């Protein structure tokens, strides 16, 4: 396993570096992008985002798409086919369409499969030859939006006029650059477009996440404060396991805080702050790894049934390291790659190792729990057995909820390929943070520091018949304002 760790780590790191191109999301950069053929047209996808309508009562709360120094460059062969004094020797159109109006692009309503106007359709006065067929929206005749840019004479380059397109209706907007003239084949585009919502540059489906991370930061802070109070009150009886739980809480606090500041900076500037994003991604990967290792060692009975992990420590550490590398690579690509140009194959390549490793953790955790419960039953350690039964039930419920949510996530993505439900998309990633927090809170309650921890601390058993009948975990007395739920545990009977 150790031999396989280093090559896997290097491979995933290289993939992450190549795939994470450091894109800007709300600022869409075009670097010599090529046009792809479709029907009788050629198109380039300029971006898509959920945008909220402008606030008419405030000039500073405008929602818009801005074209900045967008340059089209045609081939020398294409330019040489025209005369120097000719005007309008090539047409490129920027088409902005709200997703609900997608059927208004192309000749479908004219019973034609063409996207660009043909001479036959031109004779019917339905469109103009050389232009993309657009059927105006009766409720808003200016939409879908068409912006035309022409080449002149033998010029190989032409630049779009810098302009703003105001967004007055909430929706998912797509931008396409298109041309119909086959002589422009080989056209390249450079420049950028800037997309802004009324409250900032965060894409619409990401905007609620900033508020969510703010609330989660407060939730982790509250949990950390309660844990710290109980930790200090019982510091003389602290177990090694309590330090591991403290580390997970601290990592969760840092993770949520970094993500909040990352989103706040992104919202104000339109570009992702590379430094903060890298820290946030790393804290996420570390926290996910440590959380899974905590669940695993608790399931093995560390500190309760076993004083140490013994010979399996190296295997646990190796699994944790591999999971960290795979998780870090996936997080880097998802958060540093361009939102719209993210490669499905790249994501699949990185998601599969994480999914396999998650399955490995789950199998190992439940098999370890089974052995731990069996040992406790044989030893008749009823207090510890009750504790582990509660933990097992909580973990089983969380796994069932996770499976149900994965099913919902697959259904959501399958039924919404064009992101029409973008205003609800933030719930998908948020769920996993909430579930992780809930599991951590359960562990904090079950293994809360106590002045008398012998009910769940490891102790040498004199034999299998140690009688712990009548021992129980008596829950839930809250002493003083802000105290952690205190688990009162009666000491085990000592054999004569």
Q: 250-269, pLDDT tens digit by residue? A: 999 999 999 999 999 989 88
The DSSP call for residue 117 is: P
pLDDT at residue 173 tops 90: yes
199-214 pLDDT, tens digit each = 889 888 889 999 999 9
pLDDT at residue 227 tops 80: yes
pLDDT confidence of residue 213: 96
Q: Reply yes or no on domain 204-451 having CATH 3.40.50.12780.
A: no
Which tokens belong to 401?
């909820």
Q: Rounded mean pLDDT of 236-253?
A: 88
pLDDT confidence of residue 253: 94
pLDDT at residue 384 tops 60: yes
DSSP per-residue codes, 19-81? H----BTTEEEEEEEEPEEETTEEEEEEEEEEEPPP-TT-GGG--EEEEEEEEEE--HHHHTT
Q: Which has more pLDDT, 62 or 155?
A: 155
Q: Rounded mean pLDDT of 103-115?
A: 82
470: left (phi over 0), alpha (psi -120 to 50) or beta: left
Give the best-scoring range by mean pLDDT among 344-348, 444-448, 489-493: 444-448
pLDDT confidence of residue 352: 87
Lowest mean pLDDT among 15-19, 64-68, 377-381: 15-19
pLDDT at residue 17 tops 60: no
**CA 341 to centroid of chain Cα atoms:** 15
Lowest mean pLDDT among 152-156, 179-183, 209-213, 332-336: 332-336
Going by pLDDT thresholds of 50, 70 and 90, the confidence category of residue 303 is low
**CA 323 to centroid of chain Cα atoms:** 17
pLDDT confidence of residue 4: 43
pLDDT confidence of residue 405: 94
Percent over 70 (pLDDT), the chain: 81
Q: Where are the domains of the chain?
A: 25-196, 204-451
Lowest mean pLDDT among 67-71, 247-251, 302-306, 341-345: 341-345
pLDDT at residue 184 tops 70: yes
pLDDT at residue 21 tops 70: no
398-407 pLDDT, tens digit each = 999 999 999 9
Q: Please, what is the average pLDDT of the chain?
A: 81
Going by pLDDT thresholds of 50, 70 and 90, the confidence category of residue 334 is confident
Q: Which has more pLDDT, 208 or 312?
A: 208
Closest CA to 203 of 340, 333, 61: 340
pLDDT at residue 151 tops 90: yes
Q: Which has more pLDDT, 110 or 361?
A: 361
pLDDT confidence of residue 223: 95
pLDDT confidence of residue 215: 96
Entry pTM: 0.78
Q: Which has more pLDDT, 304 or 167?
A: 167
Distance, in Å, from the CA atom of 364 to the CA atom of 299, rounded to the nearest integer, reads 9
pLDDT at residue 465 tops 90: no
Q: Which residues pair with 492 in a beta bridge?
A: none
State the helix-helix crossing angle for 240-269 and 427-446, rounded to 10 degrees.
160
pLDDT at residue 107 tops 60: yes
pLDDT at residue 291 tops 80: yes
- Please, where are the H alpha helices in 234-343? 240-269, 274-299, 313-336
Q: Rounded mean pLDDT of 90-108?
A: 89
The DSSP call for residue 118 is: P
pLDDT confidence of residue 286: 94
- Is there a contact between 107 and 114 (Cβ–Cβ < 8 Å)? yes
pLDDT at residue 3 tops 70: no
Distance, in Å, from the CA atom of 470 to the CA atom of 210, rounded to the nearest integer, reads 49
Closest CA to 239 of 395, 455, 441: 455
Q: Which residues pair with 105 in a beta bridge?
A: 134
In angstroms, what is the C-alpha Rg of the chain? 30
Going by pLDDT thresholds of 50, 70 and 90, the confidence category of residue 344 is low
Going by pLDDT thresholds of 50, 70 and 90, the confidence category of residue 345 is low
User: Which helix (DSSP H) or strand (DSSP E) does residue 386 occupy?
Assistant: helix 382-415
Let me know the angle formed at the C-alpha of 42 by 78 and 182, rounded to the nearest 5 degrees: 35
Lowest mean pLDDT among 124-138, 145-159, 218-232, 387-401: 124-138
Percent over 90 (pLDDT), the chain: 42
Q: Omega of the bond prior to 144 within 30 degrees of 0, cis? A: yes
pLDDT at residue 46 tops 80: yes
- Is there a contact between 370 and 452 (Cβ–Cβ < 8 Å)? no
């Amino acid at each position: 396993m150790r031999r396989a760790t280093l090559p896997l780590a290097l491979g995933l790191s290289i993939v992450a570096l190549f795939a994470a191109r450091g894109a800007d999301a709300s600022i869409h950069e075009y670097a010599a992008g090529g046009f792809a053929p479709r029907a009788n047209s050629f198109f380039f996808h300029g971006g898509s985002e959920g945008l909220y309508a402008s606030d008419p009562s405030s000039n500073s709360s405008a929602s818009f798409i801005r074209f900045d120094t967008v340059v089209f460059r045609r081939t020398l062969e294409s330019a040489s086919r025209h005369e120097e004094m000719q005007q309008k020797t090539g047409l490129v159109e920027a088409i902005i369409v709200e997703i609900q109006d997608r059927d208004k692009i192309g000749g479908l309503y004219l019973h034609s499969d063409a996207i660009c106007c043909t001479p036959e359709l031109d004779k019917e006065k339905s469109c103009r030859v050389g232009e993309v067929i657009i059927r105006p929206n009766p409720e808003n005749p200016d939409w879908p939006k068409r912006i035309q840019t022409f080449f002149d004479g033998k010029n190989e380059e032409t630049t779009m006029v810098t302009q703003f397109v105001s967004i007055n209706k909430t929706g998912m907007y797509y931008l396409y650059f298109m041309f119909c003239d086959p002589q422009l084949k080989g056209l390249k585009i450079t420049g950028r477009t800037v997309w802004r919502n009324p409250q900032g540059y965060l894409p619409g489906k990401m905007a609620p996440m900033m508020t969510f991370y703010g609330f989660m930061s407060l939730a982790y802070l509250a949990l950390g404060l309660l844990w710290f109070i109980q930790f200090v009150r019982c510091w003389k009886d602290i177990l090694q396991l309590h330090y591991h739980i403290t580390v997970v809480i601290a990592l969760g606090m840092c993770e949520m805080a970094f993500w909040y500041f990352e989103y706040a900076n992104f919202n104000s500037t339109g570009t992702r702050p590379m430094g903060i994003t890298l820290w946030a991604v790393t804290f996420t990967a570390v926290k996910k790894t440590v959380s899974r290792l905590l669940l695993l060692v608790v399931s093995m009975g560390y500190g309760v049934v076993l004083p140490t992990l013994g010979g399996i420590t190296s295997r646990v550490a190796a699994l944790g390291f591999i999971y960290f590398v795979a998780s870090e690579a996936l997080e880097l690509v998802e958060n540093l790659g361009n939102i719209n140009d993210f490669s499905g194959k790249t994501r699949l390549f990185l998601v599969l190792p994480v999914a396999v490793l998650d399955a490995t953790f789950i199998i190992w955790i439940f098999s370890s729990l089974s052995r731990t419960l069996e040992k406790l039953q044989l030893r008749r350690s009823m207090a510890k057995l009750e504790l582990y039964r509660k933990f097992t039930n909580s973990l089983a419920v969380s796994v069932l909820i996770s499976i149900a949510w994965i099913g919902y996530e697959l259904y959501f993505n399958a039924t919404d390929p064009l992101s029409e439900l973008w205003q609800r998309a933030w719930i998908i990633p948020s769920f996993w943070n909430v579930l992780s927090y809930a599991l951590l809170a359960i562990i904090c309650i079950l293994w809360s520091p106590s002045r008398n921890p012998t009910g769940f601390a490891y102790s040498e058993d004199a034999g299998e018949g140690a009688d712990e009948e009548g021992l129980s975990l008596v829950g839930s007395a809250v002493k003083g304002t802000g105290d952690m739920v205190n688990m009162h545990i009666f000491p085990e009977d000592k054999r004569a």
